[in-house]
Amino acid sequence: MVEQFAKLDIRKDENIVYKRTDLLVDRPLSYCPGCGHGTVHRIIMETLEEMSIQDKTIGVSPVGCSVLAYDFMNIDMLGAAHGRAPALATAIKRMWPDRFVFTYQGDGDLAAIGTAETIHACNRGEHFTMIFINNGIYGMTGGQMAPTTLPNMRSSTSPYGRDVETMGFPLKMTELIAQLPGTYYVTRQAVHTPAGVRKTKKAIRKAFENQKNKTGISFVEVVSNCNSGWKMTPVQSNKWMEENMFPFYPLGDIKVDGKLVETKATAAKE
Amino acid sequence: MAKIKGDIVVNVERCKGCEICIAACPFSVIAMAKDVNSKGYHYAIKVNDECTGCVNCAVICPDGVITVYRAKVAAE
Ligand SMILES: Cc1ncc(C[n+]2csc(CCOP(=O)(O)OP(=O)(O)O)c2C)c(N)n1
Ligand code: SF4
Ligand code: SF4
Ligand code: SF4
Ligand SMILES: [Mg+2]
């Protein structure tokens, strides 16, 4: 390739300040262009690498677009039946309490079909980490309405917008499980800006660090885009997310070290 | 006086042309190529020499296709 702008060649290994972690398998991710799933996969893998716990970590992948997470994350992984990741993670963590265990789930997986597993794992105070990718839709199956779909938001099964009279209200699963004594750290983040990615990574780090002290569930929601399901370009979808998702799903910590925090998230008006 | 200079290398075949890196760059270093890769995606290219190696683009890229270099060089 012709390099128009490389007057000074600094492309030497000793000058590398960022490169894709080897804990991501060297193959193309199956996600749509601009989808937040890829970003979250990467920062989880970077966190494990920085903590040097990749050989002691077991992940549980869901059903949804990230069903193939085990093909991309180069660590021990198991695939759970739809919504059952917290049940499987419970078994793994109880058999191997010294391992770091996490689930990676979408909103359809975690907050629809898997509601019971989510709530009971949180209420039992299991000692693993849950990563929750909330894009307000069933991305994989063609953009159907999820429990997390916003009021008036269009989806393939609510083409005129979600009418809360007939379709019910969106479920704030993260606020809900924060009320349970079995959860220790509950936060909501987003990966649509570099600063957001850095903050989300810090939250993921904290969620894994907590496992060393067996404190109960550490739960990280990532409000994410589904540009295919939302029928937008990736850049538009991130803007739409800021304008529409964040007012309803405010970013920030909801519970830290076992104590509820008074934040935008908990004080938010309906 | 030494100054900090950065550079990026995009894995062209893995880039999906989502354009998310463009807005993340504080120095408007990145644009989409007119050409496409073998998958048919326009890919990210450098369009000026202002890169400081801040890594914003690499941190935001959902496909992790950007490698960033940074070095102190003698000012011209
Ligand atoms: C038992 C069962 N019911 C339904 C489905 C169909 N199905 C596959 S993925 C999915 C929803 C996925 O949505 P979400 O968890 O939000 O993941 P996303 O793709 O949005 O990341 C559904 C309903 C299934 N595979 N198995
Ligand atoms: S359908 Fe949506 S969630 Fe699935 S990969 Fe595409 S953008 Fe991401
Ligand atoms: S963010 Fe990554 S995949 Fe998207 S256009 Fe930029 S380099 Fe390509
Ligand atoms: S490293 Fe920073 S300055 Fe360089 S291209 Fe990326 S975002 Fe722009
Ligand atoms: Mg979803």
- Across the interface, of A18, A28, A29, the residue whose CB is closest to B55 is A18
pTM assigned to the model:
0.96
Atom number in ligand 4 closest to CA B54? 2
Q: Is the CB of residue B10 below 6 angstroms from any atom belonging to ligand 3?
A: yes
- Across the interface, of A4, A11, A31, the residue whose CB is closest to B7 is A11
Count the neighbouring beta carbons within 10 Å of the beta carbon of residue A122.
Answer: 25
Taking the CA atoms of B55, A204, A210 and A246 in sequence, report the sign of the dihedral they define. Answer: positive
Q: Is the CB of residue A107 below 6 angstroms from any atom belonging to ligand 1?
A: yes
Contacts of B22 in chain A (CB under 8 A): 235
Contacts of A42 in chain B (CB under 8 A): 62, 64
Atom number in ligand 4 closest to CA B50? 3
Q: Is the CB of residue B61 below 6 angstroms from any atom belonging to ligand 3?
A: yes
What is the DSSP-derived secondary structure letter of residue A14?
G
Q: Is the CB of residue B65 below 6 angstroms from any atom belonging to ligand 3?
A: yes
Q: b vs e for A225-239, b when ≥16 Cβ sit within 10 Å of the residue's Cβ?
A: bbbbbbebebbebbe
- Rounded to 5°, the CA angle A194-A196-A198 comes to 70
**Mutation for testing the B interface, residue in A16, A18, A201 having most B CBs under 10 Å:** A18
Q: Is the CB of residue B61 below 6 angstroms from any atom belonging to ligand 4?
A: no
pLDDT of residue B74: 85
Residues in contact with ligand 2 by the CB-under-6-Å rule are A 31-32, 35, 37, 65, 135, 139-140, 226-229
Mean pLDDT over B13-29 rounds to 98
**Whose C-alpha lies nearest to ligand 4, atom 7?**
B25
pLDDT of residue A270: 44
Residue recorded with tokens 């960022």: A18
User: What are A130's strand-pairing partners?
Assistant: A103, A219
pLDDT of residue A267: 59
Q: What is the pLDDT along chain A (270 residues), one digit of tens a residue?
A: 445 555 679 999 999 999 999 999 999 999 999 999 999 999 999 999 999 999 999 999 999 999 999 999 999 999 999 999 999 999 999 999 999 999 999 999 999 999 999 999 999 999 999 999 999 999 999 999 999 999 999 999 999 999 999 999 999 999 999 999 999 999 999 999 999 999 999 999 999 999 999 999 999 999 999 999 999 999 999 999 999 999 999 999 999 999 999 865 555 544
CATH class of the region B2-74: alpha beta
3-class DSSP string for B25-74: CCCCCEEEEEEECCCCCEEEEECCCCCCCCCHHHHHCCCCCEEEEEEEEE
Q: Is the CB of residue B66 below 6 angstroms from any atom belonging to ligand 3?
A: yes
Containing H/E element for A184? Answer: strand A183-190
Q: Which two tokens stand for residue A57?
A: 């970590």
Q: Which two tokens stand for residue A121?
A: 């794992």
Greatest C-alpha distance within chain B: 44
Query: Are A194 and B60 within 8 A, CB to CB?
Result: yes
pLDDT, tens digit (0-9, with 9 covering 90-100), for A130-149: 999 999 999 999 999 999 99
Domain ranges of chain B: 2-74
Nearest to A211 by CA among A28, A81, A56: A56
Q: Which two tokens stand for residue A65?
A: 């677009």
Q: How far apart (Å, rounded) are the C-alpha atoms in residues A251 and A230? A: 21
Ligand nearest to the CA of B21: 3
Atom number in ligand 3 closest to CA B20? 1
Query: Mind listing the domains of chain A with CATH numbers?
Result: 31-269 (3.40.50.970)
Contacts of B32 in chain A (CB under 8 A): none
**A43 Cα: distance to centroid of ligand 4 (angstroms):** 19
Query: Are B49 and A7 within 8 A, CB to CB?
Result: yes
The answer to whether A178 and A255 have CB atoms below 8 angstroms apart is yes
